[in-house]
Amino acid sequence: MEIKLFNSNKKINIKESNLILVNKGQNLVDFYEYNDYFLKVINDVLNVNKFYKDLIKRIEFIYDLLNNKTEDNFIKISLENSLPIGYFLDDGKIFNKGTKNMLLLFKKQNYISLDNFLNNQEIFSYKRIEIYNKLIDLLIFFHENSVLLCDFKLDNFLVIENEQGFFITIRNIEKINVNDLKDVGFISSDFILPPEAFFKNEYNIYSELWLATNFIFYILTGLNVFDFIKAANINHNMLQNFLYHVDYKVKTWPPDIKQNINISSQLPYLDQIKYNNLKEVCKNYFRYSNFKEILFKNFILGYLLFNQRKNLSAIKNELKKDLVKYHLDKQKEHKNLESENKQFIDQDKIQDKIIDNISFYVSKNEVTQEKIDNKSKQESKFYKDLTDFNLVKRIEIESNIIYYQNVSGIQDYVAFKLKQNNILNSTFVDFMNSIFVFIPLNLDLFTYYKVSILFSLFSFIDKNQSDIQKKYNLDEKSFYYFKVIIVNFVQFLDEENLKKIVNIFISLYKDKSYGILIYFIYENLKQELLNIKLEELNKSEILKEVNMKLNSFISIKISSPLNEFLENYLKKIKIFVIIFVFILSVISSLIFFKDLKLFSFILIINIIFLGLSVYFILNYIFKIVLQKLK
């Protein structure tokens, strides 16, 4: 087996008999040892060449960055240690027979996992800060060059320690992606994915900032930014519930909770002890910088408007203030600690090294920030597109009003807009607040009638959530879109048509009207209502399609109960005619001997109604015969 080397025409011959399986890995990846190398075997379950070509293309892209755009020695060493030196495509003859396999050859290295390296380290310890400094520079380098790391699991980062210091190695460098990533199934993380990745299956530079910020916080403190959520697996239902109770006036971390909130009932996921502990950690260790505000912007404001998320250069600029001052204050404490552990380390040199490093990073960061700003201007359209996040779509003017102008938060903004439309009912205002945070709304479209109808529909949805999810096999994500469809039906349909539809359903289905209306909307208008967006200037085509389907429903689906009503009405007429004929017959018999003229008149009427009776009877018999023949 000949392994082709990257950026070279040379090859390395490997004897298959000398391969030693050291780890039967998960996710279709196995590891083998061979002399001074180890071999990563990636199984291509799709069995197509595209996987192979894309992977090679990504790795060659990093090699190009390494050779042409890397000036920092640390980044150069980290990339060299992370990249495979060669590759080979196995058609299934050697490994995992029956499918294609991508083989990547790496040099053997002595390393320790990042998690083990930081184990039992104090907050802001020397090791933590060294790793942080190197890691954030590496990530900034990637982001400057449109590279997404895509893997924020702790075991993806390895630490090599030698006489030159610490170096970061990326275990799964082949997972990197250039520009946006559309398949989030490719993402790995020990932290909760950003909402756009979960709800929209999209991953971009802003998504990477969400995960990188959490990761950096963990490196420095050993804590998750959402450590106060008491659950084994944090999900977006919990975060959204917490987000609704946040006080937006105070931009800090962990976020302040609004007054008069019953923690146990309204925030059942909040662990008060961990919340208080995290508050103390942030207060004591991030006292000189605005890092707490950046966390608030990245995870709270950035949850809704992810262009609010600050980039890594901004984070680094802020954190340098804490790192320098904290370590100057703790210098003696570190010396005593090292002395007690009988480790021969020149603490003065270490401290000077930290300060020198930070100073270097700061000066370098100014250039970095300038590059990112220039790049942002050049790609303004690209970033603008990213703000059109359908989960929480906001018009840019509205976001400015919410966060920078005359209202202090989302609730004030919603109340202000509803008041303009004469919607003052406190129940309705609270209800609109609860959905505005998570579902794209244009509040200018809502009248009192529309809000009342939406409130009634959502009351049914909340009471029957489990039945709805079971009926349509909806997971958390799909159920969110279910609600978006119902909201779009109410907000985009004009009020006159909405009233007609609602009144028809109420007339036909009485107390079941809202449930049947909801099911009809989802089953018949799902595609149109899910695709319609707030920013679309011309929605007429989509709404035209919606109205056509509504008219079709009125003419076809409503025809059944109308026909039933008419049929019942005709039955009553038939019975009346038969009874009337019988009565006329009796009257005719009585007056036959008294008044011949009157008898003749009644006889004629009797014959007419008798003919109708015979017609109805024969028609009924004919229908029965037809049904039996069918």
Model confidence pLDDT, tens digit, residues 111-121 = 888 988 888 88
Question: What H or E segment, with its residue span, contains residue 87?
Answer: strand 86-90
Burial 381-391 (b: 16+ CB within 10 A, else e): eeeeebbebbb
- Structure confidence at residue 315 (pLDDT): 94
- Structure confidence at residue 477 (pLDDT): 75
Higher-confidence residue of 606 and 42: namely 42
Q: Give the separation between CA 138 and CA 80, rounded to whole angstroms.
A: 13
Higher-confidence residue of 406 and 92: namely 92
* Share of residues in the chain with pLDDT > 70 (%): 70
Cβ atoms of 272 and 263 closer than 8 Å? yes
User: Is 60 exceeded by the pLDDT of residue 555?
Assistant: no
- Structure confidence at residue 450 (pLDDT): 93
Cβ atoms of 74 and 132 closer than 8 Å? no
Q: Angle between the 513-531 and 448-463 helix axes, to the nearest 10 degrees?
A: 110
Residue 184 DSSP symbol: G
Model confidence pLDDT, tens digit, residues 284-322 = 999 888 999 999 999 998 887 777 899 999 999 999 888
Average pLDDT, the chain: 76
Least confident of 69-78, 455-464, 469-478, 564-573: 564-573
Cβ atoms of 156 and 188 closer than 8 Å? yes
Q: pLDDT tier at 383 (50, 70, 90 boundaries)?
A: very low
Model confidence pLDDT, tens digit, residues 235-280 = 888 888 888 888 888 899 999 998 878 888 888 888 999 999 999 9
- Going 444 to 447 to 450 to 455, the CA torsion angle's sign is positive
Q: Which two tokens stand for residue 276?
A: 């208080």
Nearest to 547 by CA among 482, 481, 500: 500
Model confidence pLDDT, tens digit, residues 515-547 = 999 998 898 888 888 777 665 555 666 667 777
Q: Give the separation between CA 230 and CA 325, rounded to whole angstroms.
A: 33
End-to-end CA distance of the chain: 72
Q: pLDDT tier at 282 (50, 70, 90 boundaries)?
A: very high
Nearest to 304 by CA among 172, 376, 394: 394
Cβ atoms of 104 and 40 closer than 8 Å? yes
Least confident of 205-219, 384-398, 438-452: 384-398
Higher-confidence residue of 512 and 536: namely 512
Cis? peptide before 195, omega within 30° of 0: no
Higher-confidence residue of 331 and 443: namely 443
Nearest to 318 by CA among 307, 310, 309: 310
- Structure confidence at residue 344 (pLDDT): 34
Query: 531: Cβ–Cβ under 8 A, 6 or more apart, which residues?
Result: 542
Q: List the beta strands (DSSP E) in 206-270.
A: none
Q: Give the separation between CA 464 and CA 486, rounded to whole angstroms.
A: 14
Range ranked top by mean pLDDT from 4-13, 383-392, 482-491: 482-491
Higher-confidence residue of 544 and 15: namely 15
User: Is 50 exceeded by the pLDDT of residue 401?
Assistant: no
Q: Give the separation between CA 98 and CA 100, rounded to whole angstroms.
A: 7
**Residue 86 phi, psi dihedral angles, 5° rounding:** -160, 170
- Structure confidence at residue 328 (pLDDT): 55
Q: Give the separation between CA 231 and CA 337, rounded to whole angstroms.
A: 35
Q: pLDDT tier at 363 (50, 70, 90 boundaries)?
A: very low
* Identity of the residue numbered 462: D
- Structure confidence at residue 389 (pLDDT): 33
User: Is 80 exceeded by the pLDDT of residue 164?
Assistant: no
Nearest to 108 by CA among 164, 39, 56: 39
Q: pLDDT tier at 370 (50, 70, 90 boundaries)?
A: very low
**Residue 586 phi, psi dihedral angles, 5° rounding:** -65, -45
If you write DSSP's letter for every residue of 441-496 in order, what string do you get?
--GGG--HHHHHHHHHHHHHHHHTHHHHHHHHT--HHHHHHHHHHHHHHHHHS-HH
Question: pTM here?
Answer: 0.60
